[in-house]
Amino acid sequence: MKKLIVVTTFAALMTGCFAPRAVQLRVVPLGEKVPETLEQHMYILPQTVLKAEVEIREMIRVPGPYWEYAERYLGITEVIKQRSSQWQIQDVAITSHTEMDPAMVFHVNVLEGDFNGTTLEVLMDKGIIMDGTGQVREEIKGSNLGASISKDYLRYDDMGIDSNFKERTETMYKTIVTDTSFVRVPVDRTITEQKSPAMKAEEAAEFLLELRTRRFELLTGENQGYPQGEAMSATLAKLDELESSYLSLFTGRTICRSEKRAWFIVPEAGTGSSSYGLGIFSEQLGFVPEELLEGAPLEMEIQPLGKTRDIGTYYAGNTGETGNNSFYYRLPDVVDLKVKFGNVELSRQRISVYQSGALIYSPVQ
């Protein structure tokens, strides 16, 4: 029995000697010195970065060269009479990603005991804190990339299949002197002159009606040659294309082009509402400089809902001395995010933002 007591006592002593020492930590912001630090670790709190993408569309209306004769030759009254341009906001998209917050860098100072960093790794795996090695790749393409319109499409080069000039014969009289009298002899001459717009419009209208006649004959089988299968489809498609091209000489063209604008926005820290300007937009000119005094502002408004405010108060009030054996981290708060054009609300969503959440302290487990 005595031997058993001795062995048990010795085992208890040895267990106490080799048991891990209780760790004592002091977590401080970057730049604050802590004396007598055994080792030091670093971590960074994440911040939310928003990407706002706005798609806009320009609708250009170009009058045809024969718009004045549309009613006379085709009976069409609804035509474009002057060139104009109108811009519209087509779509608004808000996405988010996390980056390191350079204002939230902390050092974990080990004052006593053994610290293996497991708690930090768990928080990093959950995305609550970052180690500073993460990389971000978010792209914004150029605002006009792939959005240009060929100027050739704004012109009317095919004005008809007939010549731009016409010939007319004019009879003149030439006086010839003979031995006994003066004789007037008729002489014909050919004069080449440019056709008037009214004449060219009439020829274009006749060709347009001829196209419609040919298409009708194809569809009803009255044409001598009747293409089959894909040949028929190709023929009808070409006739439709020609008709549309010649009809635009009278009715005009409407051309649309789209482009995207995008912004990276880092919301301010705190629980107050904030607003961020995305530019000045005009329905006549698109995005314009602010000094032009044209259009209305396009803005993003962020209103934190305070979902984590009480949680932060609870944790902060129950951890004792701040920074001692406790980690700083932030709980993201839900915000009400709106994109407005003037007084018109274009988009609204709820999204989590780290900067709007409470900074809390969690004891080391």
pLDDT (0 to 100) of residue 151: 57
By the 10 Å C-beta count (0-12 exposed, 13-18 middle, 19+ buried), 45 is classed as: buried
Q: Backbone phi, then psi, for 152, in 5-degree steps?
A: -65, -30
pLDDT tens figures, 155-192: 776 666 777 777 777 777 777 777 777 777 777 777 77
- pLDDT per residue over 327-336, tens digit each? 888 888 999 9
pLDDT above 70 as % of the chain: 83
Tell me the pLDDT tens digit for each residue of 65-102.
Answer: 999 999 999 998 999 999 999 999 999 999 999 999 99
Count CA atoms closer than 13 A to 83's CA, side-chain side: 6
- String of b and e for 293-306 (b: at least 16 CB within 10 Å)? eebeebbbbbebee
As a dihedral over the C-alpha atoms of residue 311, residue 315, residue 318, residue 323, rounded to 10 degrees, the angle is -160
- Going by their DSSP bridges, the two strands 253-265 and 326-330 should be labelled as unpaired
Q: Which two tokens stand for residue 361?
A: 């302290």
Axis crossing angle, helix 230-251 with helix 197-220, rounded to the nearest 10: 150
Who has greater pLDDT, 47 or 324?
A: 47
* Residue 327 parent element (H or E): strand 326-330
213-238 confidence digits (pLDDT tens) = 888 888 777 766 667 778 888 888 88
pTM of the model: 0.71
